[in-house]
Structure 1
Amino acid sequence: MSDKQSYPQKSETYDLLSSYKNSDPQLHDYYYHKHLKSLENSTYRNGQITVLLPAQVRFLHAVPTAHPFDVHVNEMRILKNFSYKESNGYLPLPPGKYQLDIYRSGQNTSPLLSCKVALEIGASYTIALAPTVANETLKMLPFEDNPSVPPNEAKVRFIQLSHDLLSVDIAVKGGDVVFDQIHFRKASEYLTIHPMIVDFEVRKAGTKEIALPLPNKAFQENTSSTIYIIGSNRESSSLETLTLSP
């Protein structure tokens, strides 16, 4: 794709970024100016610019031992001083390929982590900043979210991001396993359930040993939830969960 052909996408990207509740409000004017400039240079087809349904992207900091980050998308900082257990609201972006860079907070050279992601039309994603098995390096893990729920029902899945637990089962307290063999950095399938309060427990895979009790998990109708297992059994942090819904 040539620079000229990419102007419509650039225009839409800058427009969306200018309206997004950025952690740095001063960036609003900058992005809006870029939006207008790109719009002036847009390539029109039959007198129109094709507008595609944007993808939705949010980030989750799931590395207990890491310092706060700044997150850049295509060299634009969109999140500042992003700390452990923090997540942002969905950011709409035109579908396409993007360069993601993670920097130590306040820096913009020598990124800690970089990767490219492809965003599909209308899809929703959570990009988790996760530890590796040795907890010495970082990994960006994109998970596609599915916010659609059958009418008056609820939906839940689990994602395992604790490097201390290589594989887990999710069970009803004292009862049957609901999700089995969720490996480190992997997600379970979604489970549709009636709106209710459930006592879950995280077990070491294939055993009755409870790694983490999860009492009183409430699931609201027409809501899709993802429960992230994060943290560590070590002194630096505690094993816990974080629930995100669209």
Structure 2
Amino acid sequence: MEFIVFRKITALTFLGLALVAGACSDDNGNGPGKNAFVRVVHASPDAPSVDVLVDDQVVLSDVQYQEFSGYLTVPKGMHNIKVNVAGGGATVIDADVDLAAGEYYTAIASNLAASITPLVLVDDLKAPPAGNAKVRLVHGAPSAGLVDIYVTAPGADISTLNPNVANFGFQDETGYIDLPVGTYQVQVTLAGTKTVAIDTGALPLPAGFIATAIAVEAPGGGAPYAALLMEDTKN
């Protein structure tokens, strides 16, 4: 079965107005080299829709499970990020993060609602070598346990193959992997078995393509599992 999900959302208009001003150079250090960039992902399968606040300012509202934002421009330095139940409900994540100038980050609301935590990744948007794409894989399915990952030509029989990544645990990430331009099939199995939990089907990777794929659960939790594919590109 093929499960690829694309559910990108946009930030509230006023956020862009509030933070674009910080991209204009001035004597107070608010030049373009003084900003960081943060993308937010809702990957908690049994959590309700949420609002995201940066320094107590709402920047995303009513974000549903498996939705993600583009990169939000935030001044460098320490910031408080809260994730609240949408509409002014309880705070489920309250974390301070130190954002470096010029860096890109993906902040994932991860795990089941009772144990929800922020998983913050540093993104690498530098172009891959000529003739290549690069892809990062993230395990975001808490109930799946350890998994193996196979990256093959479409239709390849994995029954006699060793996994490209073995015993991949929840909240693990591979880092970016360079892959020659072509069409691939990614299959995720329960560790030590050939029982396929996620199958992307044929997945074309053009030159210069950069992406992060997160293994996620069905709404509410558990199977069927899916791959949430996000292109890692500047807005």
Q: 1:188, CA displacement in angstroms?
A: 0.9
User: Sequence identity of aligned pairs in percent?
Assistant: 21
Q: 1:59, CA displacement in angstroms?
A: 0.4
Contact preservation (8 Å) 2:148, 2:190: yes
Stretch of structure 1 that moved more, 147-156 or 204-213:
204-213
2:195 corresponds in structure 1 to: 209
Q: 1:27, CA displacement in angstroms?
A: 6.2
1:103 alignment partner, SS class: strand
2:80 corresponds in structure 1 to: 99
Q: 1:124, CA displacement in angstroms?
A: 0.8
* 2:46 alignment partner AA: T
* Structure-1 separation of matches of 2:164 and 2:78: 36
2:7 corresponds in structure 1 to: none
User: Against the structure 1 CA distance between its residues 154 and 26, is the aligned structure 2 distance closer, same or farther, given a 3 Å change threshold?
Assistant: closer
2:142 corresponds in structure 1 to: 163
152, 156, 178: which one pairs with 1:192?
Answer: 178
42, 65, 88: which one pairs with 2:46?
Answer: 65
RMSD of aligned residue pairs (Cα, Å): 2.6
Stretch of structure 1 that moved more, 115-124 or 48-57:
48-57
59, 65, 69: which one pairs with 1:84?
Answer: 65
User: Against the structure 1 CA distance between its residues 84 and 111, is the aligned structure 2 distance closer, same or farther, given a 3 Å change threshold?
Assistant: same
**TM-score after normalising by structure 2:** 0.80
Q: Which has the higher strand share?
A: 2
* Structure-2 separation of matches of 1:91 and 1:235: 28
The superposition leaves residues 82-107 of structure 1 with CA deviations (integer Å, 9 ceiling, x where unpaired) of: 00111111011121111011111110
Structure showing greater relative contact order (alpha-carbon pairs closer than 8 Å, 6 or more residues apart): 2
2:102 corresponds in structure 1 to: 122
1:9 corresponds in structure 2 to: none
In terms of Rg, which structure is larger? Answer: 1
1:164 alignment partner, SS class: helix
* Structure-2 separation of matches of 1:27 and 1:92: 9
* Structure-1 separation of matches of 2:54 and 2:102: 18
1:55 corresponds in structure 2 to: 36
User: Against the structure 1 CA distance between its residues 27 and 81, is the aligned structure 2 distance closer, same or farther, given a 3 Å change threshold?
Assistant: same
Contact preservation (8 Å) 2:45, 2:219: no
Q: 1:26, CA displacement in angstroms?
A: 5.6
2:130 corresponds in structure 1 to: 151
Q: Which runs of 5+ in 2 are unaligned?
A: 1-9
User: Against the structure 1 CA distance between its residues 57 and 212, is the aligned structure 2 distance closer, same or farther, given a 3 Å change threshold?
Assistant: same
Contact preservation (8 Å) 1:164, 1:232: no
* Structure-2 separation of matches of 1:145 and 1:59: 12
Q: Which runs of 5+ in 1 are unaligned?
A: 1-20
* Structure-1 separation of matches of 2:16 and 2:69: 17
User: Against the structure 1 CA distance between its residues 80 and 178, is the aligned structure 2 distance closer, same or farther, given a 3 Å change threshold?
Assistant: same
The superposition leaves residues 11-66 of structure 1 with CA deviations (integer Å, 9 ceiling, x where unpaired) of: xxxxxxxxxx642x46677x48xx69xx9xxxx9xxx3333342110101112211
